[in-house]
Structure 1
Amino acid sequence: MIRNGFHIQKATVTALFLRELKTRFGKYRLGYCWALLEPVLHLFVLWIVFDYVMQRAMADISFPVFLLNGLIPYFLFSNIATRSINAVEANQGLFNYRPVKPVDTIIARTILELFIYIMVYFLLMTLLLISGETIDHVNLISLFTVGFLLVVFSFGCGLIVMVAGDAFPEMEKFLPVIIKPLYFISCIMFPLSSVPKEYWRWLTWNPLLHAVELARGAVARSYQSDGASLAYLAISTLAVLFVGLLLYRNREEAMLTS
């Protein structure tokens, strides 16, 4: 049977996904459970540390729900971007096989991060409901739309990072310096409404902030996300994806032979 390009790429991405999963988590005693435990433990530590301080400041949304819908988008974006920097180097030997392309490694890593954080998100949301937290409204269409745009945006950034990292190895040192500040300017630990409006014009250039605020608005009817725009997030996603694909197309041959 002759397989078309889509089926070949699907098989390639599946194999890379399983390889990445085994490489990252197969060596631990807890095995693949660590894929869920690692982010869950991180979230619970922050929840315990900040819950007492922040619960009084969150009148329109439960603090655990607020925190969860800020950290998950950030971790998803951050992990896809940072794990893309060495994608070419880590899979260089596989490029001897014609079906394997550098973009397939980014697709596989994006799918893995998406799988992990979908599981973490629904697991923790379920635990919050069981523990008695009230979630009065969930707009699934809005939540899925924001999630989809965030994943595509992160994938586009991953492509840019992969190309930049292959062309300039020093990028591996500079990338954490670029990514870490986003934790503090993306409204992860505070709502945009708490920031004076004269500063919004600077903060709202950040697409990740829009994803975080829109995600919170999708799970809490009373949450105020006036400064967030789905249209801006969509335009930013298309722009980043276009730039990423353009850079990748111009650099693909060099990455295969480097």
Structure 2
Amino acid sequence: MLERLLPYRHPLTRFPAIRTIGALIFREMSTSYGKSPGGFIWTVLEPVGGIALLTVIFSLAVRVPPMGSSFALFYASGLLPFLMFLDISRRIAQSLAFSKQLLFYPGVTFVDAIVARFVLACMIHALVCIIVLTGIVYYDNVELILDLPRIVSAFLMSAGLALGVGCTNCFLMRRFPLWANVWAIITRPLFLISCIFIPFDSMPEGFRNILWFNPLIHIVGTNRSGFYSTYRAEYVQPVYVAVIAAVLFGLGLALLTKWHRDLAQR
């Protein structure tokens, strides 16, 4: 009888953190995609434009792509996880600055801000990957034997590494503003040394021994092995990427736990 008299409570009200994260996600969507002309369209056009430019340039110099018959698919399989890593890590690194005013509310924590940006960014990039890759397959009439577990694994590896790097940078960029400039310089060569243009196996052996320590090499290799059934990518070590992501995430989370109140006031 008492239960009938009590007002209905939605199941989500029992989990305030979920409601907070949901509210932050909707705020992020309205702020990032609702106010700019084109909104979400530009998120899709950025990788499409990059892939199209690479395809035109390299198709003029080389008749056959390093893998398969489609230049666009070859570059998309490497460029999309790379752009995903850069974008998600950047968004997470800006979590405190983006939600600074909300962190003073007792129901909002810095973890909520990070999780909200991470979840939304992963959803956006998953949608972008599906749209871009589906368009390339139909446009170039490519016949594929997809290995979905490997493609999903590459997606999770890229997301996990971005989360770890983003959390550490979230602290460093707020604590030491100069680090943002240093990080921008460090990441510029990544576009050239992440095997987006040339497969890892085609690199000189001495250079491969150094490139192997770049975790993005393993992500790109895993993703490409999911689209090209004959490409084995035996050099890939997902555990290596997972360890780096976990260490950076733990370090960043520990530093933010200790200093987030001071950093939010900056």
What TM-score, normalized to structure 2?
0.86
One-letter amino acid of the structure 2 residue matched with residue 29 of structure 1: P
Partner of 1:134: 142
One-letter amino acid of the structure 1 residue matched with residue 71 of structure 2: F
DSSP 3-state at the match of 1:80: helix
CA distance in 1, matches of 2:222, 2:228: 10
Q: Quote the offset at 1:193 in angstroms.
A: 1.4
* Residues 67-82 of structure 1 aligned to structure 2 (within 5 Å): 67-82=75-90
What TM-score, normalized to structure 1?
0.88
Partner of 2:109: 101
One-letter amino acid of the structure 2 residue matched with residue 151 of structure 1: A
Q: Does structure 2 conserve the Cα–Cα contact (< 8 Å) formed by 1:103 and 1:159?
A: no
Structure 2, gaps ≥5 residues long? 1-8
2:237 is the counterpart of 1:239: no
Partner of 1:63: 71
Structure 1 residues 159, 6: closer, same or farther in 2, change over 3 A? farther
* Residues 123-202 of structure 1 aligned to structure 2 (within 5 Å): 123-202=131-210
Q: Does structure 2 conserve the Cα–Cα contact (< 8 Å) formed by 1:135 and 1:219?
A: no
* Residues 36-55 of structure 1 aligned to structure 2 (within 5 Å): 36-55=44-63
Q: 2:35 aligns with which of 27, 38, 41?
A: 27
Partner of 2:4: none
Superposition misfits of 4+ residues, deviation over 4 angstroms: 1-6
Structure 1, gaps ≥5 residues long? none
DSSP 3-state at the match of 2:92: coil
* CA-based RMSD: 2.4
Question: Highest CA radius of gyration, 1 or 2?
Answer: 2
1:74-128 Cα distance to aligned partner (Å, 9 max, x none): 1111112223343322321111211222232222222232222211211122112
The total of aligned residue pairs comes to 258
One-letter amino acid of the structure 1 residue matched with residue 46 of structure 2: E
Identity of paired residues, percent? 25
Partner of 1:87: 95
Q: Quote the offset at 1:15 in angstroms.
A: 1.8
Structure 1 residues 10, 50: closer, same or farther in 2, change over 3 A? farther
CA distance in 2, matches of 1:43, 1:79: 17
